[in-house]
């Protein structure tokens, strides 16, 4: 009988030591653990929407890198039939597609491996470079004959294009961020996780208990982080109505300036079109409804047609046969046809 308490003490010490070891390991490796959790929880590219072949995609583990080739790291690919659920990845890939620069895509989601802790980033000639805008400027300098230095624009047109670019990337993008990553994050997560064409008509499959717990933690974390970012950036101090009114003004400005033109600056695409396409597809074509999207469909019909034009011009090879999304219940109500044709111009 005398050894029973001893066993009890021994096992208590062992369990405590194991918990302490586990907690220490978790704390020391928290960035990796968090990245792994995000990787698990965040949506994977929806294979049912991927075209049969992805000639440009290389496995993340493939270490072979050709000099002079751009390796574009991106979290998703071809979600919902549009290029990328990450707006800035769409922007950068669209820019690359406008040029004759050779590139490959690498899918993954590990913010710690990104030089600026954000996606997209590229690898080029042994260096990792972050920020879509800085990357574009670097590529234009590195590949002077790339065909997208905007040399067809006058200095004053370049200034106008730059102002629109900043408005979309630095102002409007935060409005969509407020909707996607704060106000509607529960829905965004569901849409990202189960975002395929079938799930638009039918609700996503019920989550298991563990998945629900996970989703609740992720939702809380992302909402908190987004709120802090929006506060720091400035948009977060406004009311909901004010935030969406700011977004609507941006959309209206793009729509008015675009008018009947093929591309923002005329009949030739320029860098700003890549930015607008990247950020606006994430507004008009994402299966999350919010006031700016309603506003765009109701007041700026030329924007939707412009996006279709861009998509058909630059993604015909990979998205042509892919079912895609144009705006859920709202688009259906407005009887917008899925754009499977190219003669919208």
Chain residues binding ligand GSH by CB under 6 A are 86-88, 111, 118-119, 131-133
Q: Quick one: which of 184, 158, 192, 181 has its CA closest to 80?
A: 192
Least Å from the CB of residue 117 to ligand GSH? 6
Nearer CB in complex with ligand GSH: 86/270: 86
Residue number with CB closer to ligand GSH (88 or 297): 88
Phi, psi of 189 (to 5 degrees): -60, -45
Nearer Cβ to ligand GSH (76/339) = 76
Q: Quick one: 337 exposed, middle or buried, by C-beta within 10 A (0-12, 13-18, 19+)?
A: exposed
Closest distance of CB 22 from ligand GSH, Å: 27
d(CA 155, CA 152): 10
Cβ neighbours around 326 below 10 Å, total:
22
d(CA 103, CA 158): 26
Give 107 or 339: the residue with its C-beta nearer to ligand GSH.
Answer: 107
Collapsing DSSP to helix, strand or coil, 150 comes out as: coil
In the complex with ligand GSH, the residue whose CB is nearer, 195 or 312, is 195
Give me the least distance between CB of 132 and ligand GSH, in Å please.
Answer: 4
Closer to ligand GSH by CB, 135 or 308: give it: 135
Count other C-beta atoms under 10 Å from residue 297's C-beta: 19
Q: How many CB atoms lie within 10 A of CB 343?
A: 5
Query: Least distance to ligand GSH from the beta carbon of 131, Å?
Result: 4
| Nearest-approach distance from CB 260 to ligand GSH, in angstroms | 29
Q: What is the dihedral of CA 146, 308, 341, 72, to 10 degrees?
A: 40
| Least CB distance to ligand GSH at residue 244 (A) | 20
Strand partners, 266: 263
């Amino acid at each position: 009988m005398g050894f029973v308490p001893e066993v009890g003490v021994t096992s208590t010490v062992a369990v405590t030591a194991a918990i302490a070891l586990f907690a220490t390991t978790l704390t020391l490796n928290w960035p990796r653990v968090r990245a792994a959790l995000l990787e698990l929880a965040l949506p994977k590219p929806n294979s049912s929407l991927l075209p049969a072949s992805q000639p440009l995609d290389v496995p993340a583990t493939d270490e072979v890198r050709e000099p002079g080739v751009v390796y574009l790291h991106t979290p998703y690919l071809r979600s919902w039939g549009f290029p990328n659920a990450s707006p800035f990845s769409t922007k950068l890939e669209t820019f690359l597609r406008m040029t004759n620069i050779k590139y490959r895509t690498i899918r993954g989601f590990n913010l710690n491996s990104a030089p600026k802790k954000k996606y997209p980033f590229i690898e080029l000639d042994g260096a990792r470079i972050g920020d879509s805008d800085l990357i574009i400027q670097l590529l234009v300098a590195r590949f002077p004959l790339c065909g997208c230095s905007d040399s067809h624009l006058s200095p004053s047109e370049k200034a106008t294009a730059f102002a629109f670019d900043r408005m979309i990337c630095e102002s409007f993008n935060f409005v969509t961020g407020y909707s996607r990553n704060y106000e509607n994050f529960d829905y965004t997560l569901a849409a990202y996780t189960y975002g395929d064409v079938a799930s638009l008509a039918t609700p996503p499959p019920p989550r298991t208990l563990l998945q629900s717990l996970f989703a609740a933690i992720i939702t809380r974390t992302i909402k908190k982080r987004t709120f802090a970012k929006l506060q720091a950036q400035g948009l977060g101090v406004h009311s909901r109505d004010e935030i969406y009114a700011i977004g609507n003004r941006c959309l209206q400005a793009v729509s008015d300036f675009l008018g009947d033109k093929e591309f923002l600056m005329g009949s030739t695409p320029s860098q700003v079109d890549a930015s607008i396409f990247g950020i606006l597809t994430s507004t008009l074509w994402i299966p999350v409804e919010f006031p700016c999207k309603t506003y765009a469909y109701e007041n700026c019909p030329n924007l939707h047609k412009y996006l279709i034009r861009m998509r058909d011009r630059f993604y015909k090879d990979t998205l042509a046969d892919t079912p895609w999304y144009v705006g859920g219940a709202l688009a259906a109500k407005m009887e917008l046809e899925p754009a499977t044709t190219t003669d919208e111009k």
